[in-house]
């Protein structure tokens, strides 16, 4: 049971930050940005490159997050803001094109071979029979701290209140004197930086590779939709539910169903289980499990 819990927490930490950024931006610009998961891939590669050049790992991650956030902001100003004039559907299609261009550019520069971080070998931490690496513990702790800080920002600061007001009623928020454009730029930069952080933390265990964004696409969008697009904390809860489902699919012994001592589902069924939960949830909750805020939007 404890192993199942930690496996779920590890997977949730892989998805939560990227889903958080995706849902936060959607709340303001009102289109699902498919390219968002590729920002995680770029953050992973940038962290690897800076670390390989001799920078301390925390500094490499911080700079990579800043660069990823800056690229996200530039793309918003030069591409997505113009596409949105033609409607959210056009912007979503454009984001798919941007995602393909980002992948092609990264592959042209870094190649398709995974880049593994040269981290020192340390003894694992044993908690109740569960072995965790220091990297895994640091990733979960970093995710938890960032989520706590984001929650405080969203509900306890003027910036957070402005973000929620702009997400709920853009016209009224603008009429009240809020700097809508400034807030949108800030959120786009922050969402890109958070996605870059999520990709960097994931790459510490799996390496930076060209398919990192593709691997995140389906579960991240499932988490964001499940939590209610436009509801950032709902997306985090959706990520936890998707992580739990994926962990159960690959770790439960179904031998009793087929009369064998051991029988596990293949890893190919990983996404199927998550999307089954998503489908069942949307059949009864079309706006996601946490739809009160989304309905107001």
The pLDDT, as a whole number, for residue 292 is: 52
C-alpha count within 13 angstroms, C-beta hemisphere, residue 165: 17
Specify burial of residue 89 (Cβ count, 10 A radius: 0-12, 13-18, 19+).
exposed
C-alpha distances in Å from residue 203, one per residue of 38, 177, 206, 233, 279: 13, 42, 5, 24, 30
The β-bridge partners of 126 are 131
Q: What ranges in 53-133 are assigned the alpha helix state H? A: 57-75, 81-83, 88-110
Digitized pLDDT (tens) for each residue of the chain, 297 residues in all: 677 788 888 888 889 999 999 998 888 888 889 999 999 999 999 999 999 998 999 999 999 999 999 999 999 999 999 998 888 889 999 999 999 999 999 999 888 888 998 888 778 778 777 788 888 888 999 999 999 999 998 888 888 888 888 877 777 666 677 777 888 899 999 999 999 999 999 999 888 999 999 988 888 988 888 887 788 888 898 898 888 888 877 776 666 666 677 666 666 666 777 777 777 777 877 676 666 544 444
The pLDDT, as a whole number, for residue 263 is: 64
Q: Judge whether 7 and 14 are in contact, CB under 8 Å.
A: no
Angle at 260 between CA 255 and CA 261, to 5 degrees: 75
| Distance separating the N- and C-terminal Cα atoms of the chain | 39
Going from N- to C-terminal start, the domains of the chain cover 2-211
Q: At what angle do helices 180-206 and 36-52 cross, to 10 degrees?
A: 60
How far apart, in whole angstroms, are the C-alpha atoms of residue 242 and residue 14?
A: 11
Strands (E), the chain: 125-127, 130-132
The pLDDT, as a whole number, for residue 34 is: 92
Q: Judge whether 69 and 190 are in contact, CB under 8 Å.
A: yes
């Amino acid at each position: 049971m404890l192993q199942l819990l930690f496996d779920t927490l590890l997977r949730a930490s892989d998805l939560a930050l990227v889903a958080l950024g995706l849902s936060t931006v959607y709340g303001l610009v009102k289109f699902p940005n498919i390219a968002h998961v590729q920002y995680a891939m770029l953050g992973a590669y940038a962290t690897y490159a800076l670390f390989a050049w001799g920078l301390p790992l925390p500094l490499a991650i911080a700079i990579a997050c800043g660069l990823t956030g800056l690229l996200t902001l530039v793309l918003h100003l030069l591409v997505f803001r113009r596409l949105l004039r033609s409607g959210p559907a056009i912007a979503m299609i454009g984001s798919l094109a941007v995602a393909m261009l980002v992948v092609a550019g990264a592959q042209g520069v870094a190649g398709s071979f995974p880049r593994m971080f040269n981290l020192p070998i340390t003894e694992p931490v044993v908690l109740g029979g569960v072995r965790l690496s220091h990297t895994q513990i640091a990733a979960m702790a970093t995710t938890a701290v960032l989520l706590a800080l984001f929650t405080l920002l969203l509900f306890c600061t003027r910036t957070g209140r402005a973000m929620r007001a702009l997400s709920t009623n853009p016209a009224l928020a603008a009429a009240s004197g809020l700097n809508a454009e400034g807030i949108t730029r800030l959120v786009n930069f922050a969402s890109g930086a958070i996605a870059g952080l999520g990709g960097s933390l994931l790459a510490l265990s799996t390496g930076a590779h060209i398919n990192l964004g593709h691997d995140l696409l389906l579960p991240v969008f499932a988490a964001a939709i499940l939590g209610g697009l436009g509801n950032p904390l709902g997306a985090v809860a959706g990520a936890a539910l998707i992580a739990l489902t994926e962990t159960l699919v690959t770790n439960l012994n179904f031998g009793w169903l087929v009369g064998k001592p051991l029988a596990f589902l293949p890893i190919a069924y990983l996404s199927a289980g998550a999307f089954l939960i998503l489908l069942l949830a949307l059949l009864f909750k079309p706006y996601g499990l946490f739809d009160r805020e989304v309905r107001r939007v």
